[in-house]
Amino acid sequence: MNTRPLTELPVWQALEQHAADMARPENHLKRLIQTEDRINAFSLNRSGMFYDFSRQRVSAKTMDLLFELAGERKIQETFLAMINGETVNTTENRAALHTAARDFTRPSLMVDDMDVIPEIKRVLTEIEDFTRAVHNGDITGSTGKTFKHVVVIGIGGSYLGTAFVANALRAYADKGVTLHFLANVDIHNFGAIADTIDPAATLWIVVSKSFTTAETMANANQARKFMEARGLNPADHFVAVTSKGSPGDVPGETAAFPVIRAFHMFDFIGGRYSVSSAVGGVPLSLYLGFDRFKAFLEGAHEMDVYTQNTAPEENIPMIAALISIWNNNCLGYPAQAIIPYASPLSKLAPHIQQLYMESNGKSVTADGHPVPVNTGIIIFGEPGTNAQHSFFQLAHQGNPFPIDFIGIINTQYPDYNGKSKGVTNHQELWANLISQPRALAEGKDGDTPHRSFSGNRPSSTIILNSLQPKSIGRLLAFYEARTVYEAFIWGINPFDQFGVELGKKLANEIRGQMAAANEDPGHTFDGVDPISKFYLEMLMK
Amino acid sequence: MNTRPLTELPVWQALEQHAADMARPENHLKRLIQTEDRINAFSLNRSGMFYDFSRQRVSAKTMDLLFELAGERKIQETFLAMINGETVNTTENRAALHTAARDFTRPSLMVDDMDVIPEIKRVLTEIEDFTRAVHNGDITGSTGKTFKHVVVIGIGGSYLGTAFVANALRAYADKGVTLHFLANVDIHNFGAIADTIDPAATLWIVVSKSFTTAETMANANQARKFMEARGLNPADHFVAVTSKGSPGDVPGETAAFPVIRAFHMFDFIGGRYSVSSAVGGVPLSLYLGFDRFKAFLEGAHEMDVYTQNTAPEENIPMIAALISIWNNNCLGYPAQAIIPYASPLSKLAPHIQQLYMESNGKSVTADGHPVPVNTGIIIFGEPGTNAQHSFFQLAHQGNPFPIDFIGIINTQYPDYNGKSKGVTNHQELWANLISQPRALAEGKDGDTPHRSFSGNRPSSTIILNSLQPKSIGRLLAFYEARTVYEAFIWGINPFDQFGVELGKKLANEIRGQMAAANEDPGHTFDGVDPISKFYLEMLMK
């Protein structure tokens, strides 16, 4: 990875100068998009994805400079190094191999003297076998009931990716299984699920690499007591997704935490990149069927292969990453919205929010020097057209932010074709999808200042043919690749997350104070900082 | 309202100078919070809410200047004018009276020669009667089945507030009613609900002031066909929440859109402020019971009374607004997160995102002059501790943004008390709630750059005693007041939303093209702009 300060690079300086040029009135988007072939010149249709960046504030020169930047920073070389198992996660001395989790063609890949491919295949086969046994009724709960409720106990990377894919493909969940997510340690999360499930027909999946994550283990223990109180044997109702050798990797009744089975996850796949591993594999196979999970992996793999083999000029994730850098660092936008015109993608923005902000919310390069420009931006979003009726007032007339619009050609519900005003609901949705990027780009002079639109607000439009497992895999891999490409341009490590450690450490101290007060009602919080002490007394009084 | 350019005010210039002072190392938050009485000096416990701004980057001088600014801009006077029914929505020549919807003490309030209080009371009584009749089984579906599913068809302000309150109080939903939200025109939203409900036991609530909102009417028509196809009479299964005299305000079978009953909404209550009106009242009463909806209104009213009667120094919503302005305009933060440590508040951030960004995403003052500083910022958020495992890496080590932390002393599930590591789940949640603002404020020098935390990242902490209807009302009214106070400081109108009109207009044109192509397969899209034409051909081919 190239970590030389970006601002020292001639191409970076050229980009900054060029940004001033692109801010001139003759380069307002309303002028740029008037050109008849703008859409053809600034779009790509590759690997099952149509990507339109015609309404970004870029010219041919912008793209040339950005491609030069990509070359200078060797981001394609770093991407290949990642895929080939090199130690790209340098601060933690690890590979980053989420792409290997969906590579069914590679015969072997050595990492630290271990061939990871057979390991990954073994886990996949275990998932397939377990899924079949649950769906067949060969594996049941303590009372012989088949499992109808699956509760995923996991937080962050052990939750959001799976929730995104499960929501996206909910229309195909034909296995009679309802999927629940117990992520938050908040007892309300547990209580709401406990109110809903049939315990005798419930399988709990505890997802934690170390099997020590505070929130996850608190919830797992709560669930275990809940099941025991109902005369159900935890060894019949829990599985683990965890590291080899963790406290959860001990099937059978005699374990500290009894489970039916443990599925391995690997330290070369980070949490926020883990939906392609057993983390997503076990719950998604139970919910959708193993074949659909496998098709999801295949779609992601197709995007990986395309991405790694394609020159910058034709490379959708790379272009998206370069434009994101341009918008953030050269044009100064502090955030980006993801607006899928598809309700099933309602969990896409929260997942990418995690993926991107945890990967790229860093201030120092991989080798420890301050990054001289802004790194990760804020990602947020809601489905369209909902977002139009929520925060799009600000998008049109407030401080601008770039948007990824996402559209789908074919719906999961082709049979609901009733028309209003001469169009189907799906066409109504598309009428808006077509119009919003145009309104943002063009703007309009109004009769009054309140009805005027400055325009020049950038967006991309991504079109998928359908919401099938494969296309969801492609979409995931697109955002994963875009995220790491941006990191490679800044020279930061997108695979560590030391920023969460200080809060954890302080929470450990506070937890110790609470536990002491639980044991001894006379415990005082001496020595605790004044504000924490104030709150400890408020809660524990 | 005072709309003189902010930057011309001496107090504004003093604030900008003072901001440079507060940026000096000796005013780093880690120093400010060392003072023993910081928490007492910078917190308030009023109207059922504890508000702690000790970890904002403010000093006594900051607050004095901000209070001076509030006086200069006459924001309390404008707030009172709003409550008293004056035409504060000047661009639309209307009052803004969401506060009147929950005022049970005021005998009368004249607006345009109409006393609005008896009108509001009449609608409330109608909601109470209707709710009782549905719960009693006096009003049923076509086949005599009692209503077990209620589907709210409404978008934006007709959706998000109700969804927020319904989620917050879900633990008390003891009427045997499941609540669904059909907001998006996306057919996936409809299909997912159609898969779930029992049509004969389903009541649809169509919420639209004009009864012409494109998305809402497309969904209402889709639902009507769906019911008719199942032999169910729409006149037995739909109600309207709409303006007096709208096409939906016609009960009975002979109407263009037949409904059991129509509940009135008023043009002096805007969509994003409407959860206190029949918009929230009909679905929330059916879901939670009328008494709980009424208690929610009472809580909101208590906050309104406190807010309107309290001097700036003791006024929580005003202080929150002033600090938000300070963070945005003087310290330069481009966004703010809302992080409730309470899963039931998972829809708070999306609701406030709408409320705030649609109200304050403006570029011109109420009298049409450009605002010389940034107005509305981006609001986003997820519940804690989930957010810690998602985007808090960026919060701690990336580009900072201020945060509202929210905590709850008593849970809705007091009986789940199992302990892990010596603490209950609720205590574990609080250990994190106590620690995160401290970690953000203090920071820490690490052994390596990757393990270093710059700190000085501001946050407020809001504590409610419990998640009961009254406290949810208070929380809503707090954010509503905070939002309009900020608008009054900038001199913008928080009650209009002209920014959504251009996109609607363009979508009307595209819809017309689609309808023509549906009628005539030979229709060509001549005269349409090139990019829109490209997409029309992609979809309609």
Q: CA of B441: which chain A residue's CA is closest? A: A503
- Here the tokens at position B293 are 């909806």
Residue B91 has its nearest CB partner, among A383, A450, A502, at A450
Site from B30, B90, B184, B490 to mutate, A interface, most A CB atoms within 10 angstroms: B184
Assign A540 to helix, strand or coil: helix
Q: CA of A174: which chain B residue's CA is closest? A: B195
DSSP letter at A403 equals E
* Contact check, Cβ <8 Å, A431/B334: no
- Here the tokens at position A538 are 């408020």
Q: What are phi and psi of A462, to 5 degrees?
A: -115, 125
* A242 DSSP β-pair partners: A264
The minimum CA-CA distance between A285 and chain B, rounded to whole Å, is 20
Residues of B marked active site are found at: 358, 389, 504
Beta strands in A105-227 (DSSP E): 110-111, 114-115, 149-153, 178-182, 202-207
Q: CA of A539: which chain B residue's CA is closest? A: B409
Assign A240 to helix, strand or coil: strand
* Contact check, Cβ <8 Å, A214/B420: yes
B-chain CB neighbours of A226 within 8 Å are 416, 418
Q: CA of A494: which chain B residue's CA is closest? A: B393
CA distance B439 to B453: 8
Q: What is the pLDDT of residue A3?
A: 85
- Here the tokens at position A239 are 């599985």
CA distance B245 to B243: 6
Contacts of A513 (CB under 8 A, 6+ apart): A523, A525, A528, A536
List A358, A382, A442, A486, catalytic entry? A358
What's at A86, amino acid-wise? Answer: E
Q: What is the pLDDT of residue B251?
A: 78
Q: What is the layout of strands, in order, in the sheet containing A43-46?
A: A43-46, A49-52, A459-466, A403-410, A335-340, A378-380
Q: pLDDT (tens digit, 9 = 90+) per residue, B101-131?
A: 999 899 999 998 899 999 999 999 999 999 9
* Contact check, Cβ <8 Å, A368/B156: no
Q: Provide the CA B281 distance to its chain's centre, in angstroms.
A: 15
- Closest alpha carbon to B206 in B239, B243, B180, B235: B239
Q: What is the pLDDT of residue A2?
A: 83
> What would the mean pLDDT of B21-44 be, rounded to a whole number?
96
- Here the tokens at position A196 are 């809903």
* Contact check, Cβ <8 Å, A360/B394: yes
Q: Is B302 on the interface with A (CB under 8 A)?
A: no
Q: What is the pLDDT of residue B112?
A: 87
**Beta-strand pair A49-52/B43-46:** unpaired
Contacts of B468 (CB under 8 A, 6+ apart): B169, B295, B299
Q: Is B334 on the interface with A (CB under 8 A)?
A: yes
Does the pLDDT of residue B253 top 90, yes or no? no
- Is residue B146 within 8 Å of residue B201, measured between CB atoms? yes
The minimum CA-CA distance between A355 and chain B, rounded to whole Å, is 8
Beta strands in A411-527 (DSSP E): 419-420, 423-424, 459-466
**Beta-strand pair A403-410/A459-466:** parallel
* Contact check, Cβ <8 Å, A419/B518: yes
Rg of chain B's alpha carbons, rounded to an integer? Answer: 25
The minimum CA-CA distance between A260 and chain B, rounded to whole Å, is 22
Q: What is the pLDDT of residue B162?
A: 98
Q: Residue written as tokens 């979409």?
A: A475
Q: Is B492 on the interface with A (CB under 8 A)?
A: no
CA distance B460 to B464: 13
Q: What are phi and psi of A408, to 5 degrees?
A: -130, 130
A-chain CB neighbours of B221 within 8 Å are 418-420
Q: pLDDT (tens digit, 9 = 90+) per residue, B48-70?
A: 999 999 999 999 999 999 999 99
| CB atoms inside a 10 Å sphere around CB A8 | 9
- For B358-425, the DSSP string reads HHH--SB-TTSPBPSS----EEE---TTGGGGTTHHHHHHSS---EEEEEEEE-S-TT---EETTEEH
Q: Is A357 on the interface with B (CB under 8 A)?
A: yes
* Contact check, Cβ <8 Å, B535/A434: yes
Q: What is the pLDDT of residue B282?
A: 98
Q: Is A26 on the interface with B (CB under 8 A)?
A: no
Q: What is the pLDDT of residue A118?
A: 96
Q: Is A388 on the interface with B (CB under 8 A)?
A: yes
* Contact check, Cβ <8 Å, B511/A427: yes
* Contact check, Cβ <8 Å, A54/B383: no
CA distance B155 to B241: 13
Q: Is A167 on the interface with B (CB under 8 A)?
A: no
Contacts of A324 (CB under 8 A, 6+ apart): A336, A377, A402, A482, A486
Is A504 catalytic? The answer is: yes
Kind and range of the H or E element at A278? helix A278-288
State the 10-residue block means of pLDDT for chain A, 541 residues long.
Answer: 91 98 97 95 97 98 98 98 97 97 95 94 98 98 98 96 98 97 97 97 96 93 96 96 93 85 96 98 98 98 98 98 98 97 98 98 96 97 96 97 98 93 97 98 95 97 98 98 98 97 97 97 94 97 82
What part of B 462-491 touches A (C-beta under 8 Å)?
A: 463, 467
Q: CA of A369: which chain B residue's CA is closest? A: B449
CA distance A539 to A534: 9
Q: Is B335 on the interface with A (CB under 8 A)?
A: yes
**Beta-strand pair B378-380/B335-340:** parallel
Beta strands in B448-519 (DSSP E): 459-466
Per the prediction, chain B carries an average pLDDT of 96
CA distance A229 to A460: 53
CA distance A216 to A235: 18
Burial B118-148 (b: 16+ CB within 10 A, else e): ebbeebbebbbebbeebbeeebbbbeeebbb
CA distance B297 to B178: 22
CA distance A412 to B389: 32
**Length of chain A, in residues:** 541
What does each C-alpha distance from A174 to A126, A135, A162, A285 come to in angstroms?
21, 11, 17, 11
Percent of chain B at pLDDT > 70 equals 100
Q: CA of B530: which chain A residue's CA is closest? A: A36
Q: pLDDT (tens digit, 9 = 90+) per residue, B389-437?
A: 999 999 999 999 999 999 999 999 999 989 999 999 999 999 999 999 9
* Contact check, Cβ <8 Å, B187/A335: no
The minimum CA-CA distance between A317 and chain B, rounded to whole Å, is 21
Does the pLDDT of residue B217 top 90, yes or no? yes
- Is residue B39 within 8 Å of residue B437, measured between CB atoms? no
- Is residue B358 within 8 Å of residue A394, measured between CB atoms? yes
* Contact check, Cβ <8 Å, B397/A361: yes
Q: Is A313 on the interface with B (CB under 8 A)?
A: no
Q: Is B31 on the interface with A (CB under 8 A)?
A: no
A-chain CB neighbours of B486 within 8 Å are none
Using pLDDT thresholds of 50, 70 and 90, give the confidence band for residue B137: very high
SS3 content of chain B, % helix, strand, coil (to 5): 50, 15, 35
ipTM for the assembly: 0.97
Q: CA of B160: which chain A residue's CA is closest? A: A390
CA distance A106 to A118: 10
The minimum CA-CA distance between A106 and chain B, rounded to whole Å, is 32
Contacts of B114 (CB under 8 A, 6+ apart): none
- Is residue B537 within 8 Å of residue A409, measured between CB atoms? no
CA distance B268 to B85: 9
* Contact check, Cβ <8 Å, B451/A498: yes
- Is residue A243 within 8 Å of residue A264, measured between CB atoms? yes
Does the pLDDT of residue B252 top 90, yes or no? no
Is A389 catalytic? The answer is: yes
Report if pTM > 0.90: yes
What part of A 43-72 touches B (C-beta under 8 Å)?
A: 50, 52, 54-55
B-chain CB neighbours of A187 within 8 Å are 411, 413, 416, 424-426, 429
Dihedral sign (CA A320, A322, A325, A326): negative
B-chain CB neighbours of A514 within 8 Å are 422-423, 427, 430-431
Instruction: Flag the least confident range among A402-411, B210-219, B246-255.
Output: B246-255
The minimum CA-CA distance between A534 and chain B, rounded to whole Å, is 8
* Contact check, Cβ <8 Å, B438/A358: no
Q: What is the pLDDT of residue B482?
A: 98
CA distance B536 to B541: 8
Q: What is the dihedral of CA A269, A274, A279, A284, to 10 degrees?
A: -150
CA distance A31 to A443: 11
- Is residue A356 within 8 Å of residue A90, measured between CB atoms? no
CA distance A123 to A45: 34
* Contact check, Cβ <8 Å, A502/B444: yes
Q: What is the dihedral of CA A128, A131, A132, A136, to 10 degrees?
A: 180
**Length of chain B, in residues:** 541
Q: Is A172 on the interface with B (CB under 8 A)?
A: no
Q: pLDDT (tens digit, 9 = 90+) per residue, B75-92?
A: 999 999 999 999 999 999
Assign B444 to helix, strand or coil: strand
CA distance A379 to A459: 14
Q: CA of A508: which chain B residue's CA is closest? A: B431
- Is residue A491 within 8 Å of residue A436, measured between CB atoms? no
